[in-house]
Structure 1
């Protein structure tokens, strides 16, 4: 059990770097301005290919990071 506790912070750091990399590799959307009417919402594109894989990987890494954080709090 003690060996798991020693590696949890390192696992969280690694997953956080992977999340940042996935977010930076994704294409830009309309940005925050589109939420307040500043962007042109007439063009809607679906994610395909590598963009969809990056999107899903980002969500999966976020879930892993959240799980590691909760596990770190409980142990």
Structure 2
């Protein structure tokens, strides 16, 4: 069981890194200093799917980490 949890945590962490890196990049720190000129918009299509997939991966990663600590 311990090996399964460790391997699943490694796989989930790799998926999480990939899903975060694939998301659309913003202007960085430009918005913090008043350089943000974009209008807020809703996520559509692949961007929305990737956003929700990232949330699900984070929840799974957290659950596996908690179970790994308990066992």
TM-score (norm 2): 0.87
Report how many aligned residue pairs link the two structures.
Answer: 71
Spell out structure 1 runs of 4+ moving beyond 3 A: none
Structure 2: which 5+ runs fail to align? none
Query: What does residue range 22-37 of structure 1 map to in structure 2 within 5 Å?
Result: 22-34=19-31, 36-37=32-33
Higher relative contact order (Cα pairs below 8 Å, separated by 6+ residues): 2
Residue by residue, what CA displacement relative to the aligned partner does 1:24-73 show, whole Å, maximum 9, x if unpaired?
11111232442x33431442121100000000000110010000000000
Structure 1: which 5+ runs fail to align? none
